[in-house]
Structure 1
Amino acid sequence: MQKIRLFPFFLLFGFHFLVFTSVAAQDSSRLRISLLTCTPGDELYSTFGHSAFRVIDSNAVTDIVYNYGTFNFDDPNFYIKFARGKLLYYVSTEHFNDKDGYWGFKSLYQYTNRGMTEQVLNLTAAEKRTILDFLNNNIKEENKYYRYDFFFDNCTTRLRDILKKEHDSSFCRKPVMPEGSRFRQAIHQYLDRNGKDWSKLSIDILLGLPCDAVMTAEQMQFLPDNLMKSLDSSAHPMVLSSQNLYPFTPVGNKSFFFTPLLTFSLLFAFIFLLGFAKNKFVQASLLGFDGLFFFLTGMLGIILILMWTATDHPMCRNNFNLLWAWPTHAVIAFFVSSKKNWVKKYFSTIPKGAPVTRQKVEEAPITQEFKASWEDPNIQIPMLVASYRTPSMKSRDARVLDMISTYLSDGKSSKLYKKIVDDKKMALQIGAFNYSQEDYGMYLIYGLPMGENTTESILKEIDAEIVKMQTELISENDFQKLQNKFESNYVSNNASVEGIADNLATYYMLYGDINLINTEIDIYRSITREEIRDIAKKYLNSNQRMILDYVPAKDKAQN
């Protein structure tokens, strides 16, 4: 009876033994590698957070952090090297927990009230060993230094690149910020969240046009939080487990009361009011302020030029702030009260030139289809292009043509794409767009034939869809989809200060009416299904176009 009772015990023990040995066989390295993501700190250099690798080696009984964000304050000419982008950072190691009376990595961050998230990485035994070997080789004196770049080569991108090389790169393909996000917008989020208003102003002045480039999904991972999110959302499972390592209470926004906007607004109001004073001392003070103002903007211009030309900071190039911060202001500041002619010319307005005579070109209408061809040695697939002449971008007809192009080819549910690409599989790609300009424009329809299909057969299908649009009203459902798309585009195009500024400039320079930023959406809303049919009849006829055959050349490419 006693033997029978012991049987379940031995069965359970055997089962656990088999599971344990199976797991051990799968991962014989006895290593655990995880990504540590630390929350932002109070100092500017820690505003954007931090990343590091934690490696637990059960064989050696060690718990080590590999940190690529280390630099040496005692480095000769530290500040000059930092300003010029020539300061060398290096990878260092430290214990994760306190040891021998010294604080560990965890305690240092906990003491400064910075949170820490650990993601245990889903790596094979071979991958763990390879990564650890790489890290240990990298910490050697001859290998550990690297030229730091905040956006492209920092403590976070170094870890990302190791995972890409030694494990899998799929986590770099999915964006973790909205599509179209720019580098400047990414850092603004952290500066705003941490109340760094003055730092934000300084950084915005120093950084040039490259900072306004749209980021790829991989480039978004220069920020620690974004790399952490990318690993969590990867299609290929990258994280076995994730946890916050200790309780953390975020501190509220510490924004300084005298923000740049408030400070400069008060200064402007004060100077403006002083301008009404007749007191000689006040007027002399205002003249002194003018000199100081020009001197400071001139010195700023000199700094911007040096940051552009004399440093290794690529984001400081093409800085348009030089349009107002002229370096020569630093010299003219000492002559603001001078009556000399060259000083007067410096401050005078640019004289108006001769009036520009604009010539309006009238072209005879196209009444007969004509064809052309072009051979390109660098392509392998022919392309059909049908081009129609269209009216000025300022006309109502041009806006109706915009809706027609959206109806025909915007998205996979559009008429041409669904029919020719999806259903009949005649083309690799199909598209239509209205390229409107100030005078005449072009309406272009193109297609890339697939397999045995020809450009002629694709053109026949395109013509059939256009004729259908010319003779029948589009459905109410399709019409409502068009209206929704244009309203959505209007909202997104004016959702940022940059978008509003771009639209205002376009409406002022090209249309001569900045109020279109408020009223153009009403024009699109007022377009009817009947107008779409009539405009298609008016401009998209087969006798009003040029057909271009863009074909591969018989000779091989020379480049």
Structure 2
Amino acid sequence: MSLVARTLLLLALLGGVFAQAHAGVANAPGANLEVALVTYGPGETYWERFGHDAIQLRDTVSGESVNFNYGVFDFDESGFLLNFARGRMHYLMDAAPSELDERFYVQSGRSVTRQPLALTPDQAAALRDFLLWNLRPENARYDYDYYADNCTTRVRDALDRALGGVIRKQLETRAGGMTYRQQTARLMSAQPWLMLILDLGLGPYADQPLSAWQESFLPMVLQRELAHVNIDDGAGGTRSLTGEGTLLSPNRLDVPPDQAPDLRMPLAVAGLVFAALLIVSARHWPTGLALFGTLYLVAAGIVGVLLLVLWTLTTHHSAWANANLLLFNPLAFLLLPSLWRARRGLAASRLADRILLLQLIALAAAMALHLLPGIVQQNQPWLLFAIPCWLALSWSMRRGLRRLG
């Protein structure tokens, strides 16, 4: 549905189209409201890989059913791309008839699951009133964060608000199963190059141990964790918040793996192969060394610039203090002239000598940081890739071609 059509629906909900007695969700008494969590499986496009969800309110008298979600963004917003790059993304809350909202996901081959929630009439009415307030144009926009404030955490928080904090209280005491990094790699594994780029760009924030509350930034995790939440049954006991979920439409797409792929061996092998290529080229094909070395240094410099920009000029806090800056940094560009000197059998310049020494010290520092106690950035795959490449390049520039000269 287009943003214009969604806006018209929003105005209809707020403006009284459903204002007739018991005519719909907007004015139904709480006793007539059924509340459910609707969870949509991951899609094929990269921004759909995390899945999606919505809060469904249904008036049992009129039969009207509306899905409320927090996943709308507007490409036509002024400065959208610049704000996206800077980490200042603006998302919108949205509402649509349940059948219309779910039809898109069914047609896309994504699973649709409805999970009823046992809210009291007062809680259901309070949730409805909050969602309608939040749906107003002046309240619908929010600053999006991939992990801490996204379309699922907003759904989670709205439910928690209606239940008086019960969800948060219980899920914060439960340990999560994965870190932000592991969940990201798992869900993005269908796009390997994008998965590698994201893993390279994530800093130590992505490796902190998570509670079930924090890990519920993902729709499928929230769906699973809500089944562990118990609420007061009104008779001195407790009952489960959720009823038995109903699969409204099966998944017809490739399912993400249960665990994140282990990147250590593939990147270690890639690093060793590239290092061997540099050493062989240094001995037998000087021009090849210059070409392969240039490819590595330019890539390392570009990555270093991007990591530095993410840390210092954006609000992408998940990328701050990235230890991969010790492995790939802008100083790599300064080695290019000496690399091409080495092609003619000439020794590296004094500047290049110092940069190479500094880079080797940076490698040692990166390894030392990884061994420190506490929250350590899980960048072993990139250590295993970068260390043999830098060692081979340093040897080639300082020793390999000098013998030829």
TM-score using structure 2 length: 0.69
Q: Could you list the per-position Cα deviations for residues 335-375 of structure 1 after superposition, in whole angstroms to 9, with x for gaps in the alignment?
A: 433453222332247999xxxxxxxxxxxxxxxxxxxxxxx
118, 128, 135: which is aligned to 1:132? 128
Once residues 322 and 278 of structure 2 are traced to their aligned partners in structure 1, the CA distance between those partners, rounded to angstroms, is 33
- Structure ID, larger Rg: 1
Q: Could you list the per-position Cα deviations for residues 141-161 of structure 1 after superposition, in whole angstroms to 9, with x for gaps in the alignment?
A: 111000001111111111111
Residue 272 (structure 1) shift: 2.6
| 2:192 corresponds to | 197
After TM superposition, the structure 1 = structure 2 runs for residues 52-63 of structure 1, keeping only pairs within 5 Å, are: 52-58=54-60, 61-63=63-65
- Residue 245 of structure 1 aligns to a residue in which SS? strand
195, 209, 225: which is aligned to 2:220? 225
Are residues 1:347 and 2:359 paired?
no
- Residue 222 of structure 1 aligns to a residue in which SS? coil
- Residue 245 of structure 2 aligns to a residue in which SS? strand
| 1:244 corresponds to | 247
| 1:85 corresponds to | 87
Residue 277 (structure 1) shift: 5.6
| 1:169 corresponds to | 165
- Residue 75 of structure 2 aligns to a residue in which SS? coil
Q: Could you list the per-position Cα deviations for residues 178-234 of structure 1 after superposition, in whole angstroms to 9, with x for gaps in the alignment?
A: 667432223333234xx3332221111111011111112311211111111121121
| 1:276 corresponds to | 280
TM-score using structure 1 length: 0.51
CA contact (8 A) 1:171 1:231 kept: yes
After TM superposition, the structure 1 = structure 2 runs for residues 381-420 of structure 1, keeping only pairs within 5 Å, are: none
Q: What amino acid does structure 1 have at the position aligned with 2:247?
A: N
| 2:38 corresponds to | 36
Are residues 1:303 and 2:312 paired?
no
Residue 37 (structure 1) shift: 0.8
User: How many residues of Structure 1 are paired with residues of Structure 2 in the alignment?
Assistant: 318
Once residues 278 and 296 of structure 1 are traced to their aligned partners in structure 2, the CA distance between those partners, rounded to angstroms, is 20
Q: What amino acid does structure 2 have at the position aligned with 1:147?
A: D
CA contact (8 A) 1:292 1:333 kept: no
RMSD: 3.3
Residue 164 (structure 1) shift: 1.5
Q: Could you list the per-position Cα deviations for residues 313-349 of structure 1 after superposition, in whole angstroms to 9, with x for gaps in the alignment?
A: 1111110001111222134334433453222332247
CA contact (8 A) 1:68 1:90 kept: yes
Gaps of 5+ in 2: 1-28, 232-239, 258-262, 342-347, 362-376, 382-405
| 1:494 corresponds to | none
After TM superposition, the structure 1 = structure 2 runs for residues 378-527 of structure 1, keeping only pairs within 5 Å, are: none
Q: What amino acid does structure 2 have at the position aligned with 1:80?
A: L
Q: What amino acid does structure 1 have at the position aligned with 2:290?
A: L
Once residues 113 and 203 of structure 2 are traced to their aligned partners in structure 1, the CA distance between those partners, rounded to angstroms, is 33
- Residue 156 of structure 1 aligns to a residue in which SS? helix
Residue 28 (structure 1) shift: 5.4
CA contact (8 A) 1:176 1:220 kept: no
181, 184, 196: which is aligned to 2:181? 184
Q: Mark the CA change 1:500 to 1:80 in structure 2 (over 3 Å): closer, same or farther.
A: closer
- Residue 276 of structure 1 aligns to a residue in which SS? helix
Residue 174 (structure 1) shift: 3.9
Q: Mark the CA change 1:144 to 1:286 in structure 2 (over 3 Å): closer, same or farther.
A: same
After TM superposition, the structure 1 = structure 2 runs for residues 249-328 of structure 1, keeping only pairs within 5 Å, are: 249-251=252-254, 265=269, 269=273, 272-273=276-277, 275-276=279-280, 282-328=285-331
Q: Could you list the per-position Cα deviations for residues 8-48 of structure 1 after superposition, in whole angstroms to 9, with x for gaps in the alignment?
A: xxxxxxxxxxxxxxxxxxx7542222111111111221111
CA contact (8 A) 1:231 1:238 kept: yes
Q: Mark the CA change 1:308 to 1:276 in structure 2 (over 3 Å): closer, same or farther.
A: closer
Q: Mark the CA change 1:107 to 1:152 in structure 2 (over 3 Å): closer, same or farther.
A: same
- Residue 336 of structure 1 aligns to a residue in which SS? helix
Once residues 32 and 213 of structure 1 are traced to their aligned partners in structure 2, the CA distance between those partners, rounded to angstroms, is 37
Gaps of 5+ in 1: 1-26, 98-103, 353-496, 502-559
Q: Which has the higher helix share?
A: 2
Residue 107 (structure 1) shift: 1.4
Q: What amino acid does structure 1 have at the position aligned with 2:33?
A: L
Once residues 351 and 205 of structure 1 are traced to their aligned partners in structure 2, the CA distance between those partners, rounded to angstroms, is 20
- Residue 337 of structure 1 aligns to a residue in which SS? helix
Q: Mark the CA change 1:500 to 1:188 in structure 2 (over 3 Å): closer, same or farther.
A: closer
211, 224, 235: which is aligned to 2:206? 211
- Residue 153 of structure 1 aligns to a residue in which SS? coil
Residue 79 (structure 1) shift: 2.4
Q: Mark the CA change 1:85 to 1:350 in structure 2 (over 3 Å): closer, same or farther.
A: closer
Once residues 157 and 332 of structure 1 are traced to their aligned partners in structure 2, the CA distance between those partners, rounded to angstroms, is 46
Q: What amino acid does structure 1 have at the position aligned with 2:218?
A: L
| 2:3 corresponds to | none
